[in-house]
């Protein structure tokens, strides 16, 4: 066994147990090359980027600092709101209105001596490839799918097979109420966030027949009041989701229906949550997911154990909705992934659809989720969102059918979206009528 080289830390007691992991060889280290002090040193000089300084981000920053990372950078464009204080524990009342990235950075720096955290109070899209190239590891604690897709496409785009440093592992955490996920992406090697986009399908609506005939959950009763009873009775001319009187009307209706079917659990706040589509953020779920993400970071940085993605499972899902359940599996790369694949993806369509209907379907399809698509074929521009002059020129095409535009079954189309400027989405039309 190699000698346990304890690196010169400023507060040895704090790092004692971490160093037991970092400085000693383990079952997964290569005995011939292992040098414990090198591992600790490498972690200290590794540049780690954290995206998001909110519920997950606060946890991630704290965990990274206490895991021995010393050069941490954090991007968050948001300022602190009073409603953040119940779980974003690096913020205090007097911080309301200040930059999340800056306050979080200063707090952790103060508590964990020797760690440097560089905050950026801006959007991830404000930086170019050179900026992202400087990091060795990227960890996302975001609530936006769009931002995840953007950083994923950027990191995949950085990969140059001749430059070893161009592979930046991406660790992504996400939570929704009692559910969450942690996943690791080795760009171009393992399945990427775009490959996995259908895991973030917009939530499926409860079928109308369930609402109308056999509600099983309090939410079904609320949706019934919202979708059916409101329309039938029209208690107010227009539903205003911020008007307590309106929400109270829905709540009473839902409560009556819940009593009829013996369903407990309808409350005013649940009614508000369902109608406004609010998913509560739960502090402990954030802790669980952030901890999983930071353990992956420690493993990738120190090689003390195999991380997710090497070589098999790359996706951990956690559910606390009904007891506790975790499941780790391998999400496969997709050859037709617009970011890391290269093949055109089949797009179900119909010759009788208008171009507008085709574009609307791109927003709705779980594997596309493109809200501002521009579309062209190899030879012809069909519709462009920008610049305004081209938009105006191509707008009449929106009301033409695909057949009228000369598009045929099997035709390849190219779609772009300003939200993902570097990505070219290639689709192959598959007409239903064939």
- Residues within the interface to Zn ion (CB under 5 A): 192, 194-195, 337, 339-340
Handedness of CA 90, 107, 99, 96 (dihedral sign): positive
Strand order in the sheet with 374-376: 345-349, 425-431, 412-416, 374-376, 381-383
Least gap, CB of 335 to Zn ion (angstroms)? 9
- Upper half-sphere CA count for residue 72 (Cβ side, 13 Å): 34
Q: How far apart are CA 99 and CA 57, in angstroms?
A: 13
Q: How far apart are CA 378 and CA 412, in angstroms?
A: 8
The helix or strand, by DSSP H or E, that contains position 48, with its residue range, turns out to be strand 47-51
**Which residue in 306, 298, 303 sits closest to 35, CA to CA?**
303
Could you tell me if 55 and 180 are in contact, meaning their C-beta atoms sit under 8 angstroms apart? no
Least gap, CB of 390 to Zn ion (angstroms)? 30
Least gap, CB of 189 to Zn ion (angstroms)? 11
- Decide whether 193 or 247 has the Cβ nearer to Zn ion: 193
- Decide whether 170 or 250 has the Cβ nearer to Zn ion: 170
- Decide whether 193 or 281 has the Cβ nearer to Zn ion: 193
Query: Tokens standing for 194?
Result: 């775009």
- Give me the residues paired with residue 175 across strands: 180
Least gap, CB of 192 to Zn ion (angstroms)? 3
Closest chain position to Zn ion (CB): 337
- Decide whether 215 or 338 has the Cβ nearer to Zn ion: 338
Least gap, CB of 18 to Zn ion (angstroms)? 34
- Decide whether 109 or 194 has the Cβ nearer to Zn ion: 194
Least gap, CB of 141 to Zn ion (angstroms)? 21
Least gap, CB of 203 to Zn ion (angstroms)? 23
Q: How far apart are CA 102 and CA 77, in angstroms?
A: 10
Could you tell me if 381 and 370 are in contact, meaning their C-beta atoms sit under 8 angstroms apart? no
Query: Tokens standing for 24?
Result: 């000693």
- Decide whether 288 or 337 has the Cβ nearer to Zn ion: 337
Strand order in the sheet with 170-176: 116-120, 71-75, 47-51, 137-141, 170-176, 179-185, 315-319, 325-329
Could you tell me if 130 and 104 are in contact, meaning their C-beta atoms sit under 8 angstroms apart? no
- Decide whether 290 or 362 has the Cβ nearer to Zn ion: 362
**Which residue in 122, 129, 140, 77 sits closest to 289, CA to CA?**
140
- Decide whether 44 or 336 has the Cβ nearer to Zn ion: 336
Whether 58 sits among the annotated catalytic residues: the reply is no
Least gap, CB of 191 to Zn ion (angstroms)? 6
Give 203-232 as a DSSP string. PPPPPHHHHHT---SHHHHHHHIIIIIHHH
Could you tell me if 366 and 201 are in contact, meaning their C-beta atoms sit under 8 angstroms apart? yes
Q: Which of 58, 195, 209, 337 is catalytic?
A: 209
Which residues, including other chains, have CB under 8 Å from residue 53's CB and lie 6 or more apart? 61, 74, 75, 76, 78, 88, 90, 100, 101, 104, 105, 119, 141
- Decide whether 51 or 153 has the Cβ nearer to Zn ion: 153
Q: How far apart are CA 35 and CA 275, in angstroms?
A: 57
DSSP 3-state percent helix, strand, coil across the chain (nearest 5)? 40, 15, 45
Least gap, CB of 334 to Zn ion (angstroms)? 6
Q: How far apart are CA 43 and CA 27, in angstroms?
A: 20
Query: Which residues are catalytically annotated?
Result: 209
């Amino acid at each position: 066994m190699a000698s346990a080289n304890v690196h010169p830390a400023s507060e040895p007691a704090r790092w004692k147990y971490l160093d037991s992991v970092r400085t000693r060889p383990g079952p997964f280290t290569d005995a011939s090359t292992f040098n414990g002090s090198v591992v600790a040193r490498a972690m200290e000089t590794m540049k780690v980027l954290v995206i998001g300084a909110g519920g997950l981000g606060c946890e991630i920053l704290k965990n990274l600092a206490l895991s021995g990372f010393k050069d941490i950078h954090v991007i968050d464009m948001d300022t602190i709101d009073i409603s953040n204080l119940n779980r974003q524990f690096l913020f205090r009342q007097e911080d309301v209105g200040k930059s999340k990235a800056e306050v979080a950075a200063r707090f952790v720096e103060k508590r964990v001596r020797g760690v440097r955290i560089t905050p950026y109070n801006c959007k991830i899209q404000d930086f170019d490839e050179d900026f992202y190239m400087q990091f060795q590891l990227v960890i996302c604690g975001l609530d936006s799918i769009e931002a995840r897709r953007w950083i994923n496409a950027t990191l995949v785009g950085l990969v140059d097979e001749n430059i070893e440093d161009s592979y930046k592992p991406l660790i992504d955490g996400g939570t929704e109420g009692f559910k969450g996920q942690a996943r690791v992406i080795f760009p171009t090697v393992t399945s990427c966030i775009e490959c996995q986009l259908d895991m973030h399908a917009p939530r499926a609506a409860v079928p109308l027949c369930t609402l109308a005939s056999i509600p099983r959950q309090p939410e079904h009763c609320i949706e019934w009041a919202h979708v059916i009873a409101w329309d039938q009775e029209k208690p107010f001319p227009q539903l205003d989701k911020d008007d307590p009187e309106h929400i109270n009307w829905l709540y009473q209706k839902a409560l009556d229906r819940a009593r009829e079917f013996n369903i407990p659990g309808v409350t005013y706040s649940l009614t508000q949550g369902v109608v406004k589509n609010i998913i509560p953020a739960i502090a402990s779920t954030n802790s669980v997911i952030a901890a999983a993400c930071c353990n992956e970071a420690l493993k990738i940085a120190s090689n003390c154990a195999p991380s997710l993605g090497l070589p098999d499972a790359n996706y951990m899902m956690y559910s606390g909705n009904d007891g506790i359940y975790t499941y780790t599996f391998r999400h496969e790369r997709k050859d037709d992934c617009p970011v890391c694949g290269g093949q055109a993806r089949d797009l179900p369509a119909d010759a009788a659809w208008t171009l507008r209907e085709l574009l609307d379907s791109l927003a709705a399809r779980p594997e596309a989720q493109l809200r501002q698509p521009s579309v062209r074929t190899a030879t012809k521009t069909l519709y462009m969102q920008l610049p305004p002059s081209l938009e105006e020129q191509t707008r009449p095409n929106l009301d033409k059918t695909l057949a009228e535009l000369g598009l045929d079954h099997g035709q390849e189309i190219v779609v772009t979206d300003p939200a993902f400027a570097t990505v070219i989405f290639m689709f192959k039309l598959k007409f239903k009528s064939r």
